[in-house]
Amino acid sequence: MPQRPSGSSGSGPRGAGTRREDQRPEEAAPRRGSEEPRRGSTHGTDAPRRGGKPEADPPGERGFGISEARAYTPRGRTVRERTPRTGRTTDPFRPALQVVEGGKPRAPRRPAPEEQPRGGNGRAAAGGTGRAGGNGGRTGGNSRQRAEQPAGRTEAPPRVRRKSTTAAVPAPRKRTTAAKASAAAKRPPAPRKRAPRRPPRLMDQRRRLRLGTVLALTVFATIGIRIVTMQFTESPAFAEKGLQTRLDRVDLPAPRGAIYDRGGAVLAHSVEARYVAVDPELVTDLEKTAAALQPLIAVPKSELIAKMAKRQQPGGGPSRFEYLARGVSIADGQRVEALDLAGIIVDRDERRQVPGQDLAASIIGFTSQDLNGLEGLEARYDDLLRGVDGKRVFEVGQGSLNAEIPGGYNRTTEAQPGSSLQLTIDRDLQYFVQKTLAERMAQAKAYTGAAVVLDVRTGEVLAQASYPTYDAAQPLKSKAEDREDTATSFVVDPGSVHKAITIGAALQEGAVKPTDTFVVGPRVRKGDQWFKDTHTNWTPKRMSIPGILAYSSNVGTIAIADKLGKEKLYEYQKKFGLGTATGVGVPGEASGLLLPPGKWSGSSYGSVPIGHSVAVTPLQMAAAYAAIANDGTWVQPHLVKETIAPDGKRTPTAPPVTRQVLSPENAQTLRQMLEAVTSVEGATGVRAAVDGYRVAGKTGTGSRVVNGQYVSGSVASFVGMAPAENPRYVIAVFAHTPAGGGGEVTAPAFHDMMGYALTHFGVPASSGKPPKFVVYP
The CA distances from residue 632 to 524, 565, 581, 663, 671, in Å, are 31, 21, 20, 6, 10
Give the CB-side neighbour count of residue 655, counting CA atoms within 13 A: 4
Phi, psi dihedrals of residue 603, rounded to the nearest 5°: -75, -20
Amino acid at site 37: P
Q: Are 156 and 107 in contact (CB under 8 A)?
A: yes
Q: Are 352 and 256 in contact (CB under 8 A)?
A: yes
Per-residue three-class SS string for 240-292: HHHHHCCEEEEEECCCCCCEECCCCCEEEEEEEEEEEEECCCCCCCHHHHHHH
CA distance 31 to 18: 13
Q: Are 776 and 543 in contact (CB under 8 A)?
A: yes
3-state SS, residue 194: coil
Amino acid at site 314: P
Give every CB contact of residue 740 below 8 A, 6+ residues apart in sequence: 444, 714, 716
Torsion angle in degrees (nearest 10) through CA of 431, 432, 434, 438: 130
How many other C-beta atoms lie within 10 A of the C-beta of residue 230?
12
Which DSSP helix (H) or strand (E) runs through 429?
helix 427-444
CA distance 603 to 612: 10
Distance of CA 716 to the CA centre of its chain: 52
Q: Are 717 and 742 in contact (CB under 8 A)?
A: yes
Q: Are 371 and 350 in contact (CB under 8 A)?
A: yes
Q: Are 517 and 538 in contact (CB under 8 A)?
A: no
Q: Which residues are catalytic?
A: 496
3-state SS, residue 655: coil
Q: Are 598 and 545 in contact (CB under 8 A)?
A: no
Phi, psi dihedrals of residue 462, rounded to the nearest 5°: -85, -25
